[in-house]
């Protein structure tokens, strides 16, 4: 039995799509899942190989406003720029000043430092000529998770609380 015309092409496109999307950045865990502005958020990530940016509520935080660390610490602190590009990472940032509500947090995995287009072009070119890393080059460079921004709580001044005036 012979395959109908066009099936080999369709199958190769499907396999390529699945192989390339498998290496897209992925959030494995978010902690906490909700918090007030100023709360530190930790995203455990797989396949984050470039220079991350985070967007929440139309506010963008570039690489220099984020903190990266290894998801599998060895006991010795490692600077974020020294992390292996294939290593799982924890991406941390603070919730910006946003009104309460549900927000999409988009993590972009850029190829190069913010504003350095030459670096991005050179890095992409180097990866294109190296077939084993193609799944990390020709892939989606972003992922999205949901986060709920809550109201800020006002902590009363401890000096104002006394046994006679509990609140």
Length of the chain: 167
Residue 13 lies in a domain: no
Residue 16 lies in a domain: no
Q: Using CA of residue 101, residue 89, residue 74, residue 66, what is the dihedral sign?
A: negative
**Full domain range(s) for residue 105:** 24-152
Q: What is the mean pLDDT of residues 43-54?
A: 87
Quick one: average pLDDT of 17-23?
Answer: 55
CA 147, 150, 154, 155 dihedral sign is negative
Average pLDDT, the chain: 78
Q: What is the CA radius of gyration of the chain?
A: 22
**Do residues 122 and 162 touch, judged by C-beta distance below 8 A?**
no
The torsion angle over the Cα atoms of residues 100, 39, 59 and 106, rounded to 10 degrees, is -100
Question: How many domains is the chain built from?
Answer: 1
- 1 in any annotated domain: no
Q: What percent of the chain has pLDDT over 90?
A: 31
Span 157-162, average pLDDT: 55
Q: Is residue 164 part of a domain?
A: no
CATH, residue 47 = 2.60.40.10
- Is 92 inside a domain boundary? yes
């Amino acid at each position: 039995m012979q395959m109908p015309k066009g099936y080999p092409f369709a199958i190769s496109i499907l396999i390529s799509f699945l192989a390339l999307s498998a290496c897209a950045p992925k959030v494995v865990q978010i902690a906490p899942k909700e918090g007030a502005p100023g709360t530190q958020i930790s995203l455990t990530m797989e396949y984050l190989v470039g220079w991350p940016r985070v967007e929440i509520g139309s506010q963008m935080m570039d690489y220099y406003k984020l903190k990266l660390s290894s998801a599998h610490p060895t006991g010795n602190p490692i600077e974020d720029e020294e992390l292996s590009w294939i290593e799982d990472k924890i991406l941390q940032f603070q919730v910006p000043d946003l009104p309460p509500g549900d927000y999409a947090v988009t993590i972009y995995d850029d190829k190069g430092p913010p504003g350095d287009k030459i670096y991005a072009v050179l890095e992409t070119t180097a990866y294109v000529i190296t077939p084993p890393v193609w799944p990390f080059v020709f892939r989606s460079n972003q992922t999205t998770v949901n986060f709920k921004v809550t109201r800020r709580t006002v902590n009363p001044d401890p000096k104002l609380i006394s046994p006679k005036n509990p609140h």
